Structure 1
Amino acid sequence: MTSSPADRAQRGKDARKYVARSAHGLWLPPVERPDPVAVLERQGRDRLPELLPVRYGRMSTSPLAFLRGAAAVMAADLAAQPHTGLTVQLCGDAQLLNFGLYTSPERTLLFDLTDFDETFPGPFEWDVKRLAASIAVAARENGHPEPKVRQAALAAAAGYHTAMRRLARLGELAAWYERVETDRLLPLVRDGRRRPQSSLTRARRRTSLHALGRLTETVDGRRRIVRDPPFLESVGPSDTAALRKLFSDYRSTLSEGRRLLLDRYRFVDAARKVVGVGSVGTRCFLVLLAGVDDDDPLLLQIKEARESVLERHLPSGPYVHPGHRVVAGQRLLQAAGDIFLGWTTGPQGRAFYWRQLRDTKGPANVAGASPAALQRYARLCGTVLARAHGRSGDRIAIASYLGSADTFDRSVADFATAYADRTADDHANLVAAVAAGVVRAAPES
């Protein structure tokens, strides 16, 4: 039987006995902390070796780039600390660039989490701390003074706190249907150089048709994916055959209506693609489909799903198949999900998941953001993260744990600035490893 709201609130208060809210600000590297470069090398053992230099090259460009690719490093650091036991479906990589704009199936432009490769059930505060730490790192890269750096991290935690307490007062359906639409974004895209609507207008234009023009070309009268080695390159006949088989198997994980829609498209072309920062080296492909004609495209991305960086630190999750884990986590966390999300098993037992390559998705441009703009963005990300957690976890218990005081917020801000220091040191270690030839980094062309 479902617990009463009072019992749920009491559970949240009881969690303070295990981890006081003020304790979240106390962070020092564990005595036996793994070497961050060794952690990255261990991740790379089963990745495509020819792409690992691209990964290290991207991560070595800045502390924020390092943090983006070092979710495994931070997961180990968080796991070394006591946690609340208040479990949610974690994003697992809730850094600030994994939030963005996308279009719902109803064609509403939303702001939400956009990356779920590491999603896994775990303590809510891990996502909040990764978000706040990424905000602090970004603020320093933008040259903000230290008080503003801390204020930006504090804004992320405060946005989460405020939203979670509001969600706790809503009914179950009202909390489930919460979403952040574009009217909340207008103050965030005003930068003095362009009209407030311009960033949103650009995002609306980033549809499959936009991607078609950028990522495809017509050769001998036929549409095909543009080749740009090593970032986007051809696959051989055997790989193409395997992708066609994957496509057939993936279809079975969709609902009946989605299968009917997908069956109206035909397979046109496929290519291997390099994606992201932390994901570089995993197997990822694009598949170009066409509907009524070549100007009616559907671009799907097939991405390898691996063990979440959180799994070795937490109890077993509900999904055996890594692709199923990613798809289920995205469906649970996002306010409105991609209608073509699905999963399958490929050659050598590798797990994959499928999604649309782009459906009006646009990441935030935080480089050069003013302190005020970054604080507003941080608060919005915190708000969205609370909405996601409120769907999968006990929002009443979490809100009760947080309470009405700002103790948790201030503690997370303290953690974030301390972890930003650690990230700068870890980035320097990677740069030194590249210089010493321990790992090879390839610059972007």
Structure 2
Amino acid sequence: MRHDSQDPVLAEALAVERRSPAERAAHGKAARRRIPRSAQARFAPPAGRFDPVALLERQSADRVPELVPIRYRRMLESPFRFYRGAAGIMAADLGPAPDTGLIAQLCGDAHLLNFRLLASPERHLVFDINDFDETLPGPFEWDLKRLATSLEIAARARGFEAARRAAIVRGAVEAYRERMQLLAGMGTLDIWYAQDDTAQLEQLLPKDRPDKDIRKRTGKALAKARTRDTAQAVGKLTRVADGRRAFVPDPPLITPLRDLLPDGPRADLEDLLHGLLHRYAESLPAERQLLLRRFQVVDMARKVVGVGSVGTRCWVVLGIGRDDEDPLVLQAKEAGRSVLAPYVPAGGTHGNQGRRVVYGQRLMQSAGDILLGWVRVTGFDGKRRDFYVRQLRDWKGIARPESMSPTMLRLFARVCGASLARAHARSGDPVALAAYAGGGDSLDRALAEFAEAYADRNEADHRALAAAVSDGRVSAAETSPG
């Protein structure tokens, strides 16, 4: 895949500036001639396809060695958890294949659990994408295929028959198309200001109202998300002992610095992390730097996060404002090269991988964390490492597909699809994207076929990892799920 500009999002914006709406629509329709919508159904890996376990091992080479087995153990638990950690594998499958050339800022890992309820700076509950570790500009369909396949895999885990699974996937793509059609007719600022808050979510669902059970479950999910704030995280992760609040050890998942290293090396690491926080603050606007200074750092810990991210360096920092009841928990997470970088020319345009993550999040999210920033530090090994920093938890509500009925999962799929369309429209050309997707169901049916085929591939790759563990090629640690 080749593009003329080193920054495809900027190139797309400049192209939109030069074109009339009719020309933009023609550009989208021209992409159909290159890649017909029906062709999106195809997934045919070459006979000499790469070894998926070898790709995972390459990813793990620069991670914390004692944590890598936890990643493999989590990926072994089910095909869905394997998929959560296999964004790099899917990128390697999609990247070399022909694409539409219709560019937007991508999440890069748009599986269904990366769509969540979040708090806006105005303290409204909104639905949005949550994870941007792999964000880069790229062909819009890569995100859509990642979402579609995650829904197929989740529906398989629930034991749904093929027709129901296909309907769930088609619902997500249909909602993406319909939302993009609406966005194509909106003004530029209106697109930028668009949010999916709780009052608007109902408008994204089908005309037929969900049943009472679904309304009840949705209400509970919204109420629970409002409790998942910093205070709740502090209550779960910390305790007060000897008049001082500190992180509760839960090794290897949470290891306070006092337990991680002996006194001398620990002091050096504390100095390094204090320096990280000081330089990270410089990436924030001046008024937010002032806000951050009102909190005193009282404890730090290493934390294991996610599935695909396990083994990357991640620190949590406990700050106290007025008193112990006025806490702040920040997460500083290592940002490596995006899994999309080998397949798009924008991997080095930001200079700092943490900044790349922050840029992508700010570009795609309608309501971002006010303390989101980035930093680069030099570790004790002499290597420069990039981090992004954010609040650990701020009104986050996560979906539970393992307990969803077919109707509930399809409704959730539609909300995810519509939200992804809004995120893509902020950087891509909604007129061209809407013209490519069209008003019929060709793209819906094609991506349902693709999702079925790629879910089969994902199951085979999951078995390959299990065989590698069984053969002793890689080690998988026993630990609680997270």
> RMSD between aligned alpha carbons?
1.5
Superposed CA offset, 1:236-279 (max 9, x none)? 22211111000110011000111111111111110000000000
Distance, in Å, in 2 between the alignment partners of 1:6 and 1:195 is 44
Distance, in Å, in 2 between the alignment partners of 1:417 and 1:106 is 40
Unaligned runs of 5+ in 2: 1-16, 203-208, 258-265
2:466 maps to 1:431: yes
Distance, in Å, in 2 between the alignment partners of 1:165 and 1:267 is 48
Superposed CA offset, 1:336-384 (max 9, x none)? 1000010001122100010000001121111131111111111110000
SS at 2:366's partner residue?
A: coil
Structure 2 counterpart of 1:272, from 265, 287, 302: 302
2:83 maps to 1:60: no
| Aligned equivalent of 2:14 | none
Structure 2 counterpart of 1:74, from 69, 84, 90: 90
Distance, in Å, in 2 between the alignment partners of 1:188 and 1:81 is 39
Distance, in Å, in 2 between the alignment partners of 1:315 and 1:190 is 49
2:81 maps to 1:50: no
The residue type paired with residue 234 of structure 1 is P
| Aligned equivalent of 2:364 | 333
2:221 maps to 1:199: yes
The residue type paired with residue 275 of structure 2 is K
Structure 2 counterpart of 1:175, from 174, 191, 207: 191
Q: Which moved more, 1:216-225 or 1:188-197?
A: 188-197
Cα shift at 1:32: 2.4
SS at 1:148's partner residue?
A: helix
Distance, in Å, in 2 between the alignment partners of 1:71 and 1:402 is 24
| Pairing 1:55-204 to 2, within 5 Å after superposition | 55-184=71-200, 191=213, 196-204=218-226
SS at 2:305's partner residue?
A: coil
| Aligned equivalent of 1:227 | 249
Could you say if the C-alpha distance between residues 3 and 79 of structure 1 is closer, same or farther in structure 2, counting changes exceeding 3 Å?
Answer: same
2:323 maps to 1:293: yes
Equivalent residues, number: 445
Q: Which moved more, 1:276-285 or 1:151-160?
A: 151-160
| Aligned equivalent of 1:372 | 407
Contact 1:253/1:343, CA 8 A, preserved across alignment:
yes
| Aligned equivalent of 1:212 | 234
| Aligned equivalent of 1:308 | 338
Could you say if the C-alpha distance between residues 432 and 193 of structure 1 is closer, same or farther in structure 2, counting changes exceeding 3 Å?
Answer: farther
| Aligned equivalent of 1:319 | 350
Superposed CA offset, 1:45-64 (max 9, x none)? 00011001100000000000
Q: Which moved more, 1:234-243 or 1:217-226?
A: 234-243
Distance, in Å, in 1 between the alignment partners of 2:278 and 2:344 is 34
The residue type paired with residue 102 of structure 1 is L
Distance, in Å, in 1 between the alignment partners of 2:302 and 2:290 is 27
Cα shift at 1:189: 10
Structure 2 counterpart of 1:27, from 32, 36, 43: 43
Structure 2 counterpart of 1:400, from 430, 435, 439: 435
Distance, in Å, in 2 between the alignment partners of 1:346 and 1:239 is 12
| Aligned equivalent of 1:239 | 269
SS at 2:126's partner residue?
A: strand
Distance, in Å, in 2 between the alignment partners of 1:163 and 1:32 is 39
Cα shift at 1:442: 1.4
SS at 1:233's partner residue?
A: strand
Contact 1:300/1:354, CA 8 A, preserved across alignment:
yes
Q: Which moved more, 1:174-183 or 1:420-429?
A: 174-183
Unaligned runs of 5+ in 1: none
Superposed CA offset, 1:125-153 (max 9, x none)? 00000000000000000000111111111
The residue type paired with residue 342 of structure 1 is G
2:57 maps to 1:41: yes
The residue type paired with residue 327 of structure 1 is V
Contact 1:30/1:80, CA 8 A, preserved across alignment:
no
Could you say if the C-alpha distance between residues 395 and 267 of structure 1 is closer, same or farther in structure 2, counting changes exceeding 3 Å?
Answer: same
Distance, in Å, in 2 between the alignment partners of 1:32 and 1:158 is 34
Distance, in Å, in 1 between the alignment partners of 2:396 and 2:240 is 25
Q: TM-score, with normalisation over the residues of structure 1?
A: 0.97
Cα shift at 1:196: 4.4
SS at 1:138's partner residue?
A: helix
Q: Which moved more, 1:291-300 or 1:190-199?
A: 190-199
Q: TM-score, with normalisation over the residues of structure 2?
A: 0.90
Distance, in Å, in 1 between the alignment partners of 2:225 and 2:322 is 25
The residue type paired with residue 205 of structure 1 is T
Could you say if the C-alpha distance between residues 194 and 178 of structure 1 is closer, same or farther in structure 2, counting changes exceeding 3 Å?
Answer: closer
Could you say if the C-alpha distance between residues 231 and 22 of structure 1 is closer, same or farther in structure 2, counting changes exceeding 3 Å?
Answer: same
| Aligned equivalent of 2:290 | 260
Distance, in Å, in 1 between the alignment partners of 2:327 and 2:460 is 45
Contact 2:221/2:397, CA 8 A, preserved across alignment:
no
Contact 1:188/1:377, CA 8 A, preserved across alignment:
no
Percent of residue pairs bearing the same amino acid type:
52
